[in-house]
């Protein structure tokens, strides 16, 4: 195994970046954790901390300088998200780092139904334009969010119809990311990172129901109903549009993607709902 000497990990205060950082630390890899708030950086061996946000080109360039690879986690929903991602990709190039692993989304495209998937497409395009040795991990919808989607009422609501999705656990995405960071042969490649079963939301609801022992159902909505049922959150329109579009993308078949990436690169089958509960019973709590 040809291990890069120093890996920059962004998003290390978050769920996915935190998992990747923990796995790299366990593998004895030196890391530079690039975080917005150093006081929240995970306490791990062999780490340096750098402070940067995706709005700050200079801080990012400095944070990435001298590293052998960057794990670039996509940013939180923000109206400036594309600009932030492009700033981050440009900073990788400006720092003279070639290798970058970016967390994208299945079927990212310029006109994706899921509006946030368009951001990922633009970011992937920038990785190619900058001629970086990138790997795009096109992740499916997080399996971890299934109880959150069901909420306290146990109803998954949205205009997804009988469209299907192969949800994937963040643990599995982290395993794939680490394999891609620590081995060769993944340069200028796009991988779909998904579970191994395409299911409708009604089927995912039934699975959650069986595992949790509480009734969980799926309620198909019209677009209008979806906006109405989310009105009480008081979120800005562009946020609600993203939420609703994620269900419309399922209905359109955009998330009907299944791959063997987890099995092939992580070396184990995709994690099931039951395994997530066994690993951490708090998975069933209706918060992400």
**Could you list the residues that contact ligand NAP (CB under 6 A)?**
10-11, 13-17, 36-37, 53-54, 73-76, 84, 103, 105, 139, 141-142, 170
Of residues 53 and 219, the one with the C-beta less far from ligand NAP: 53
CB of 213 to ligand NAP, least distance (A): 25
CB of 1 to ligand NAP, least distance (A): 25
Q: How far apart are CA 219 and CA 225, in angstroms?
A: 11
| H or E segment to which residue 99 belongs | strand 99-105
- 53-62 long-range contacts, CB within 8 A, separation 24+: 53/84, 54/84, 54/85, 54/87, 54/88, 55/80, 55/84, 55/87, 56/87, 57/87, 57/90, 57/91, 57/94, 60/34, 60/87, 60/88, 60/91, 60/92, 60/95, 61/91, 61/94, 61/95, 62/95
Of residues 182 and 255, the one with the C-beta less far from ligand NAP: 255
Of residues 194 and 212, the one with the C-beta less far from ligand NAP: 194
Is residue 8 within 8 A of residue 69, CB to CB? The reply is yes
CB of 19 to ligand NAP, least distance (A): 8
CB of 34 to ligand NAP, least distance (A): 8
Of residues 39 and 222, the one with the C-beta less far from ligand NAP: 39
Q: Which residue is nearest to ligand NAP (CB)?
A: 14
CB of 105 to ligand NAP, least distance (A): 6
Of residues 99 and 170, the one with the C-beta less far from ligand NAP: 170
């Amino acid at each position: 195994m040809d291990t890069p000497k120093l890996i920059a990990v962004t998003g290390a205060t978050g769920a996915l970046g935190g998992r990747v950082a923990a796995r790299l630390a366990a593998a004895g890899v030196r890391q530079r954790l690039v975080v917005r708030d150093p006081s929240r950086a995970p306490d791990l061996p062999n780490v340096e901390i750098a402070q940067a946000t995706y709005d700050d080109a200079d801080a990012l360039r400095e944070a990435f300088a001298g590293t052998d690879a960057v794990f670039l986690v996509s940013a939180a929903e923000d109206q400036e998200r594309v600009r932030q991602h492009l700033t981050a990709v440009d900073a990788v190039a400006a720092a003279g780092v070639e290798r970058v692993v970016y967390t994208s989304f299945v079927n990212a495209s310029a006109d994706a139904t899921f509006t946030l998937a368009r951001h990922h497409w633009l970011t992937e395009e920038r990785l190619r334009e900058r001629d970086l040795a990138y790997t795009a991990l096109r992740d499916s919808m997080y399996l971890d969010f299934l109880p959150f989607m069901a909420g306290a009422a146990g109803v998954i609501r949205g205009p997804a119809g009988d469209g299907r999705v192969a949800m994937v656990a963040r643990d599995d995405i982290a395993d794939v990311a680490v394999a891609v960071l620590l081995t060769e042969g993944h340069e200028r490649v796009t991988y779909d990172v998904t579970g191994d079963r395409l299911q409708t939301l009604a089927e995912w609801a039934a699975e959650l129901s069986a595992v949790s022992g509480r009734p969980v159902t799926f309620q198909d909505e019209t677009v209008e109903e979806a906006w109405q049922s989310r009105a009480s959150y008081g979120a800005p329109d562009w946020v609600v549009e993203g939420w609703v579009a994620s269900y419309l993308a399922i209905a359109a078949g955009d998330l009907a993607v299944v791959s063997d990436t987890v099995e092939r690169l992580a070396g184990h089958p995709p994690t099931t709902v039951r395994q997530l509960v066994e690993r951490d019973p708090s998975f069933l709590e209706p918060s992400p």
